[in-house]
Structure 1
Amino acid sequence: MQVTETLNEGLKRAYSITVTADELDAKVNAKLKEAQPDIEMKGFRKGKVPMPLLKKQFGQRLLGETMQEAIDGAMNEHFEKSGDRPALQPQVKMTNEDWKEGDDILVEMSYEALPEVPELDLSTITVERLVVKADDASVTEALESLAKTAQDFKDRKKGSKAKDGDQVVIDFVGKIDGEPFEGGAADDYPLVLGSNSFIPGFEEQLVGVKAGEEKAVEVKFPEEYGADNLAGKDAVFDVTVKAVKEPVSAEIDDELAKKFGAEDLAALKGQIAERLEAEYSGAARAVMKRGILDALDGMVTFDLPPSLVEAEAKQIAHQLWHEEHPEVHDHNHDTVEPTEEHNKLAVRRVRLGLLLAELGQKAKVEVSDAEMTQAIMQQARQYPGQERAFFDFVRQNAQMQQQLRAPIFEDKVIDHIAEQAQVTEKEISKDDLQKAVDALDDE
């Protein structure tokens, strides 16, 4: 077997590989000899079938398998000796397309090698960890928000008109072409105006009604409505308004606390403070992570595989295009060409990705089975009732596993860097933290 370098330019590599006919024949014979003791054939005892006959019977079938093994073996041996790590799957093709049995195999292999990442002194990195305490005003604001979710409704003064956010208690009968339809009637139905719980146009027409009023509400069922007999149809609902009620927030007291599983108001306040500080800590971590990445980005530069940068730039351009066109849910659109800004961002992401991977490998950072299970469970919650199917899907999909593992690995590497870096704490207000988080999106 012979491997000859034909290209060494930057990170681009190309080699010609020759597997001689004698080598290939020897490998086929070795496979046949290994299998010979277990082969039975009419006219021969088990294990006594002559090699020439075995070769005639099974040689062609083994030849293709052996060719692939020989090429794979040559590639693996090359990577072990050279220390190269291909950025993407190497491109491999036979160059003697008119190959026939008895000929040498000639193969071309090309790839882009991952670069050597320089050593870094992580102790030179300086970064701030922002700290925000949950003050009384923030806890009170959160309590008031909880009280609204636990709101009740009370009758408005007689003759008052219903406003958006009010609850109207109604009887209604829906008709299409003058005939009532199944499921289109109800009595004493409590409807909060603006909740969008009815078909479009229904609730808006009840703004301004009074208790005791009757109103014909004219609507059109959406074309994609679940019931085929109603989809796209014009309908009229005869509505009788029985009550108009205004929302009343729950009292902030021990009773409210018990509704949310706390022993009393003081305990609920403590739980809210802990939750808020956990939220602040998560946001502060995102700011610190950006600071660490910015520091790393300014510390080192090295050649990048063009194919990785190109693929990342295309991914960025495609993702941003969909964010600008949220109405498009498929990928049946024109190719989105990356801009200079996309390419610049791609260079940063690829460089930092390779750097973090190298730092994580040297620090022996690993993602445990328990961490993966937790990540899968969090994702599975997005598919109520289909959690088991999602688990099975992830188990059988290596790409999905990598998508879940990558952010966990990255966060653990960031933690490792933070342990080596010079980190100072700075206490700031909630508003200043929000400004720092908003600035992340602006960059």
Structure 2
Amino acid sequence: MQVKETQNEGLKRGYQITLTGDELATKVDGKLKEAQPEIEMKGFRKGKVPMALLKKQFGQRLMGEAMQESIDGALRDHLESSGDRPATQPKIEMENGENWKEGDDMVVNVSYETLPQIPELDVSKVKLERLKVKAEDSAVTEALENLAKNAQNFEDRKKGTKSKDGDQVVIDFKGFVDGEAFEGGAAEDYPLVLGSGSFIPGFEEQLVGAKAGDEVKVEVSFPAEYGAPHLAGKAATFETTVKSVKAPKAAEIDDELAKKFGAEDLDALKKQIADRLEAEYAGASRAVLKRALLDQLDGMVSFDLPESLVEAEAAQIAHQLYHEEHPDDHGHNHGAIEPTDEHKKLAERRVRLGLLLADIGQKAEIAVSDQEMTQAVMNAARQYPGQERAFFEFIQQNQAAQQQLRAPIFEDKVVDHIAEGAKVKDKEVSKEDLEKAVEALDEL
């Protein structure tokens, strides 16, 4: 077997591998001899089938296996000796494939782009600000007020008071379609909050202004996509009796409210809210710090990028942005989407940072643990209620899907590793300043 270099320009590599006819024949004979003791054929005892007959029966198939194994072995040996790491799957073409016949030499052309050598990075030169926000009393009070509103009760309004949005009306109703009562269309003493959108569109609006004791004929149409097919799109009439009108009353902000939300007392609830708010602020601050870190890293390193990776990333960016700009187009029949110069520039940044972070993570022996992966799978499965089991099975059987979940965890761990070695200065800012910094992330 001969290996000849045909291209070595930048990251592009090309090799011509020649396998002689004798080498291939020897490999096929070896496979036949290895299998011969276990082969049985009519007219011959087990292990006694002549080699000539075996070659006639199985030689063509084994020749294909021999070719593939020889190419794979030659490429594997070459990569081990050269240290090249292909950026994508190497392209393999048989030069004399159409005219090749048994006994001929086989000539194969192999081409690929190798991953670049990543320069060493001195993380101590990275300087960052970590924005720190304390939970202000006003933010805690606002959160308490929202909790009290969610825990609201309803009290009877004065007799004769008309209902309005936000009120609760207690009603009896019976529904009819085409003059016939339908199953599930009746209830008694039903508490309905006007404006909640919990009933058919148009139903609640017709009860605004009603008083206790009023009888209202509510006329609506079921939505075309209604869950019960026999009712979808049908006009309906509901004979409705308003039995009482109640006004919302927020719960008192006291120890009793705190206990409703699992806290020992009001002070404990306030501390829980403050801790939760500061955790949210810390998450937002981390996103700002990560962007600043990546921006610095992008300017600190320079190396050749594999064109194949940049082109694939630019195509993905263009495709993603197209669907964001055309949310109603859910298919993929929109034809080719040509990446712009802006897409290519963003793709170069992503590929450069991806390779850099992967190199740093590898050298630091950073890995994603089984526990971290399990948690990621569980978090992702929550997006598919009722289909969690099928989602778990899909992830188990799909390496690409596993990598999609693993990649962001690995990236975050590498970012944390770099930040630990960087010069990081804490800076106390207001909630509004942090919000502005987060909004700026979307503008870049």
TM-score when scaled to structure 1?
0.94
| 1:107 match: secondary structure | strand
Q: 1:41 offset after TM fit, Å?
A: 4.2
Per-residue CA deviation, residues 364-401 of structure 1 (Å, 9 max, x unaligned), is: 11111111111111112223343232221111010110
Q: Which amino acid aligns with 1:59?
A: G
Please tell me whether residue 396 in structure 1 is matched to residue 412 in structure 2.
no
Q: Which residue of 1 aligns with 2:35?
A: 35
Match of 1:340 in 2: 341
Match of 1:182 in 2: 183
Distance 1:330 1:195, change over 3 A: farther
Taking a change above 3 Å as real, the CA distance of residues 207 and 23 of structure 1, as seen in their structure-2 partners, is farther
| Partner in structure 2 of residue 67 of structure 1 | 67
1:275 and 2:283 aligned: no
User: 1:158–1:313: structure 2 CA closer, same or farther, 3 Å change rule?
Assistant: farther
How far apart, CA to CA, are the structure 2 residues paired with 1:336 and 1:62?
Answer: 44
| SS of aligned partner of 2:358 | helix
Query: Cα deviations across residues 201-249 of structure 1 (Å, max 9, x unaligned)?
Result: 2223333333333333222222221111111222222222222222211
Q: Identify the residue that residue 376 of structure 1 maps to in structure 2.
A: 377
CA distance in 1, matches of 2:155, 2:309: 62
Structure 1 residue 48: Cα displacement: 4.3
Aligned to 1:229: 230
Q: Which amino acid aligns with 1:221?
A: F
Partner SS, residue 413 of structure 1: helix
Question: Is the partner of 2:276 in helix, strand or coil?
Answer: helix
Q: CA RMSD in A?
A: 2.0
CA distance in 1, matches of 2:244, 2:390: 47
Superposed, 1:244-255 pairs within 5 Å as 244-255=245-256
Deviation (angstroms), 1:52: 3.0
**Structure 2 gap ranges (5+):** none
State the 4+ residue runs in structure 1 displaced beyond 6 angstroms: none
Q: Deviations over 1:58-117 (max 9, x none)?
A: 222212112111111122122222222222112222222232222222222222222222
Query: 2:317 is matched with which residue?
Result: 316
Alpha-carbon offset, residue 292 of structure 1: 0.6
Deviations 1:11-54 (A, max 9, x none): 23332222221111111122222233333445555444443333
**Residues 347-362 of structure 1 mapped to structure 2, 5 A cutoff:** 347-362=348-363
CA offsets per residue over residues 332-353 of structure 1, 9 Å max, x none? 4344333332222212111111
State the partner residue of 1:8.
8
CA distance in 2, matches of 1:82, 1:173: 81
**Aligned equivalent of 1:194:** 195
Distance (Å, rounded) in 2 between the aligned partners of 1:228 and 1:361: 57
Deviations 1:316-345 (A, max 9, x none): 222223223333434343443333322222
Matched, 1:87 2:66: no
CA distance in 2, matches of 1:12, 1:199: 64
Q: Which residue of 1 aligns with 2:143?
A: 142
Take 1:67 and 1:412, find their aligned partners in 2: how far apart are those partners? 43
Task: Decide whether aligned partners of structure 1 residues 235 and 396 sit closer, same or farther in structure 2, where only a CA change above 3 A counts.
Answer: same
TM-score (structure 2 length as normaliser): 0.94
Q: In the aligned structure 2, how far is the partner of 1:169 from the partner of 1:348?
A: 60
- C-alpha distance after superposition, 1:106-141 (max 9, x if no partner): 222222222222211111000011112223222222
Where does residue 424 of structure 1 map in the other structure?
425
Rounded to whole Å, the distance in 2 between the matches of 1:39 and 1:233 is 72
Change in CA separation of 1:172 and 1:298 when aligned onto 2, cut-off 3 Å: same
User: CA 1:177 to 1:421, structure 2 compared with 1: closer, same or farther past 3 Å?
Assistant: same
Question: How many pairs align?
Answer: 443
